Structure 1
Amino acid sequence: MLTVIRILYNLLIFIFIPIILPLGYIAALWKKEEKDYFERFGFIKIDKNVEKSVWFHCASVGEVRSLKILINEIRKRYPDLAIVISTITYSGKEVAVKELNPDVVFLLPIENSLAIRYLINYLNTKILFIVDTEIWPNLILTASKIIPLVMINARISDRSFKNYYRMKFIFSYLLTKFQKIFVKSEDDFLKFERILGGKNNLELLGNLKFFEKKEVHVDDLDFLNGRLITAGSTHRGEEELILGAYKEVKNSFDKLIIVPRHINRVEEIVRLTKSFNFNVSKWSEGVDNCIQSEVIVVDKFGMLEKFYKISEKVFVGGSIVTNIGGHNIFEALQFRKVIACGDNMWNFKEIYDLAKRYDLIYPVKSKKDFIDYFENNIKLSPDFDSFEKELKEKATNKLTKIFEYMSTAL
């Protein structure tokens, strides 16, 4: 049965490639991502001699950034291992090049077994790590026949679990091809266990997103004085709550800064802000406009942590809407800010629970909650020292487990 499904699956891929290739290229041209487009079909140029390597496959930016400390440590312990990174998204590849400096980086040849086999052999890959729950059958089945295959930061959302369990006979087969699955949380562990029918290759590790403080320079924000609020990584439905609450407290603050998760929503948010009768400008409109505005909507990448650093109040989005699972709260916590966020934080449950335990989280889900947070109506007793100490201990333990496994696999 599984063999028949695999044949049909690959037949569909073969049939749809002539359709997908030109349509995808048009989309890539529109997004100015055409340069590396054909890597997705296996046309990858490797201009570096690699004796042996470790390969990390990531979906996008978040998964790439989660690898920073692990890759730095691999370079120290295994200096002869080249670092190979593949991504699904163009932005993920750009961030990998800029922040991780891998020896080889490319867009994944999606479900191209011939290309996967060629890359593993050409790069003399010793182990392949798939970051997060990226289920690509041909990648998994091809790689697992040649080298150890490991999943790190493994997780399954409630919505995905229903589909995975419904198709258990397929997903359990694919998951058994992993020699080790390092699971993100206890809840995820139980989900994997149900699909696999036992613990098998599972190990609870926690979130591999290792957290370290960054040196963030804010000289270019010197003109933003006074009491600031930043709402970061926001999604539709969250900006309304923030703007409604800010309208009630604006006399106590100088500016509200909104940094949407998706930059293509900037114009939508500007229109929404105007509907609240605020004077609003986009960051790209320049210093003079920003100084005169009550609300600034940021339409530039790479600014979020700068605004977190200079703001008195911080909201981290993707946490009130129910379908996202939250964003990286450490980006604000590293500056010792008590932050507001909702309770839909399953993507960062470990650090969220830890931050709540040390009184670093102000839970919000309504306009009134935001007003209370802005006006300090509920007093907290934050303990940043204990939080940072425990976070460091957890990161050390996770690295130890991963390298214990790697030493047996290499």
Structure 2
Amino acid sequence: MLWLYNFGIFLYNLVVKSIAPYNSKAKLFIQGRKHLFSILEEKITKGQKHVWFHFASLGEFEQGRPVLEKIKILYPHKKIIITFFSPSGYEVRKNYALAEGIFYLPLDTASNARKFIEIVNPEIAIFTKYEFWHHYFKVLKEKNIPLFLISGIFRSNQMFFKWYGGFYRNMLSCITWFFVQNEESVNLLQQIGLQNVELSGDTRFDRVYENAEAVKSLPLIEEFISRAPVFLAGSTWPADENLLTQLTLKHPGWKFILAPHEIGADHIRQIEKQFPSAVRYSTLQSSSADKQVLIIDNIGLLSSLYQYGTVAYIGGGFGAGIHNTLEAAAFGLPVIFGPRYEKFQEAKDLVLRKAAISIHNEQELENAFEHFSSQPAFGQMAKDYVKERKGATEGILKKISKYLN
């Protein structure tokens, strides 16, 4: 199985290189890893111990951020190294102030893993939610470097739990401690003989709660809204945006803020065709208050925008899966999303609490909008849900602190 895994890594690299000239993300993926070891050796003090955090992308960074920042508060002398797999994480957070260095993770080959860990010299390693890399995990275990998975979540259909999944189960045996989000994950891991598991919850609750408590005002947004109720659509894709067109026409008394997941020039122009009277955030002025639709054409603003929302729509549910519902819920917004949400425990919980509705078409979107816009109590249910579940970070730190000198 190892040869197949190694071939898969080789093939993945080959495919990304082949599409890089035509795909901006693939281009960043390849360029960001050029001369990476030379950059690491130049920027990292030889022999210095580090706390190594790895994140797949931006969402996982925000999920693990409360643990990272708490470690920095408790152990201010510790040096933190951050790696990302995806450009969408690295490009947004490459200047994050609390890390000594932020890098792309070299692809998981035996030589890359050994060389990277030798340079970074981690005291401990912390991975968030998922990403299981055979060679990195193997080297960490060989060197007796504690490895933690925080906010992990497992499902029975994953390779770890199949009869033929021995290679993948071996990766899990390298993890010192699992901090997982739900009972199902605890049970699945224990069924394959892993007892080093703790039901800690999801650190995202801590992050979104802190964000809602300390959010800063956005004067230009306030002028645009001008006291109107706000429908805020976050992390949308074309399938989501197609549904929203008629909603804006039917409800002229509302303001609509669209924050697309992809903000490339072509996508923004396509949204402008769908909403011809919309204004971009980059051109927003005090005189834009007469506009009904605002298109957010930058990254990093969405989590602050929810403070102005009345009802939220979360994109992605007509594709691979919905994006972050908790940021909206933390501000007391009921949420609407597409049909693909079963992999997300918080979305299922919000639906059960009647603080969220999953929709399949334009009519169901209209019905959900009418339902939530007329009954604000459902937003409070969403906010209470977030408040009840915060606290995962504290429990994780109690355990991890035992491994920090």
Structure 1 Cα separation of the partners of residues 199 and 35 of structure 2: 34
Structure 2 Cα separation of the partners of residues 135 and 22 of structure 1: 22
Which amino acid is the alignment partner of residue 122 of structure 2?
T
Q: Given the alignment of the two structures, is residue 252 of structure 1 paired with residue 250 of structure 2, yes or no?
A: no
CA deviation after TM superposition for structure 1 residue 88, in Å:
0.7
Report if aligned partners of 1:182, 1:203 keep a CA contact under 8 Å in 2. yes
CA deviation map 1:277-330 (0-9, x unaligned):
x53444445549955644333322223234322233321222x42631x22223
- Picking from 231, 234, 243, the partner of 1:232 is 234
- Picking from 16, 41, 44, the partner of 2:40 is 44
Counterpart residue number, 1:334: 330
Mean Cα deviation higher: 348-357 or 131-140 = 348-357
Structure 1 Cα separation of the partners of residues 281 and 173 of structure 2: 49
CA deviation after TM superposition for structure 1 residue 386, in Å:
9.7
Distance 1:347 1:99, change over 3 A: farther
Counterpart residue number, 2:85: 88
Q: Given the alignment of the two structures, is residue 301 of structure 1 paired with residue 299 of structure 2, yes or no?
A: yes
Report if aligned partners of 2:177, 2:196 keep a CA contact under 8 Å in 1. yes
Which amino acid is the alignment partner of residue 229 of structure 1?
F
Alignment of 1:174-189 (within 5 A): 174-189=171-186
Structure 2 Cα separation of the partners of residues 145 and 175 of structure 1: 14
Structure 2 Cα separation of the partners of residues 67 and 16 of structure 1: 26
Aligned partner of residue 135 in structure 1, secondary structure: coil
Structure 1 Cα separation of the partners of residues 164 and 259 of structure 2: 39
Structure 2 Cα separation of the partners of residues 11 and 382 of structure 1: 50
Counterpart residue number, 1:77: 74
Counterpart residue number, 2:128: 131
Aligned partner of residue 75 in structure 1, secondary structure: helix
Structure 2 Cα separation of the partners of residues 355 and 282 of structure 1: 32
Structure 2 Cα separation of the partners of residues 243 and 15 of structure 1: 41
Structure 2 Cα separation of the partners of residues 381 and 12 of structure 1: 50
Aligned partner of residue 102 in structure 1, secondary structure: coil
Aligned partner of residue 195 in structure 2, secondary structure: coil
Structure 1 Cα separation of the partners of residues 379 and 287 of structure 2: 38
Counterpart residue number, 2:244: 242
CA deviation after TM superposition for structure 1 residue 366, in Å:
3.9
Aligned partner of residue 252 in structure 2, secondary structure: helix
CA deviation after TM superposition for structure 1 residue 71, in Å:
1.3
Aligned partner of residue 86 in structure 1, secondary structure: strand
Report if aligned partners of 2:203, 2:392 keep a CA contact under 8 Å in 1. no
CA deviation after TM superposition for structure 1 residue 407, in Å:
0.5
Distance 1:297 1:408, change over 3 A: closer
CA deviation after TM superposition for structure 1 residue 245, in Å:
3.1
- Picking from 309, 312, 316, the partner of 1:311 is 309
Structure 1 Cα separation of the partners of residues 311 and 10 of structure 2: 52
Structure 2 Cα separation of the partners of residues 15 and 349 of structure 1: 33
Report if aligned partners of 1:176, 1:201 keep a CA contact under 8 Å in 2. no
Aligned partner of residue 84 in structure 1, secondary structure: strand
Alignment of 1:201-220 (within 5 A): 201-209=196-204, 210=206, 211=208, 212=210, 213=212, 214-220=214-220
Counterpart residue number, 1:266: 268
Mean Cα deviation higher: 288-297 or 206-215 = 288-297
Provide the aligned length of Structure 1 versus Structure 2: 392
CA deviation after TM superposition for structure 1 residue 41, in Å:
6.7
- Picking from 144, 151, 162, the partner of 1:165 is 162
Identity %: 21
Distance 1:154 1:334, change over 3 A: closer
Which amino acid is the alignment partner of residue 252 of structure 1?
G
CA deviation after TM superposition for structure 1 residue 74, in Å:
0.8
CA deviation after TM superposition for structure 1 residue 55, in Å:
0.8
RMSD (CA atoms): 3.7
CA deviation after TM superposition for structure 1 residue 218, in Å:
0.9
Which amino acid is the alignment partner of residue 184 of structure 1?
Q
Counterpart residue number, 2:140: 143
Which amino acid is the alignment partner of residue 252 of structure 2?
N
Distance 1:178 1:298, change over 3 A: same
Structure 2 Cα separation of the partners of residues 345 and 12 of structure 1: 28
CA deviation map 1:350-395 (0-9, x unaligned):
47626853x643554443343344434763634849955x745643
CA deviation after TM superposition for structure 1 residue 59, in Å:
0.6
Report if aligned partners of 1:245, 1:368 keep a CA contact under 8 Å in 2. no
Which amino acid is the alignment partner of residue 43 of structure 2?
D
Alignment of 1:191-202 (within 5 A): 191-193=188-190, 197-202=192-197
**What TM-score results when the alignment is normalised by the length of structure 2?**
0.80
Structure 2 runs not aligned, ≥5 long: none
Structure 1 Cα separation of the partners of residues 155 and 285 of structure 2: 42
Mean Cα deviation higher: 132-141 or 215-224 = 215-224
Structure 1 runs not aligned, ≥5 long: none
CA deviation after TM superposition for structure 1 residue 148, in Å:
1.7
CA deviation after TM superposition for structure 1 residue 105, in Å:
1.7
Report if aligned partners of 2:52, 2:80 keep a CA contact under 8 Å in 1. yes
Distance 1:266 1:299, change over 3 A: same
CA deviation map 1:3-29 (0-9, x unaligned):
xx3256446767987x56964764569
CA deviation map 1:99-132 (0-9, x unaligned):
4521122111111333433343444312111212
Q: Given the alignment of the two structures, is residue 66 of structure 1 paired with residue 63 of structure 2, yes or no?
A: yes
Aligned partner of residue 308 in structure 1, secondary structure: helix
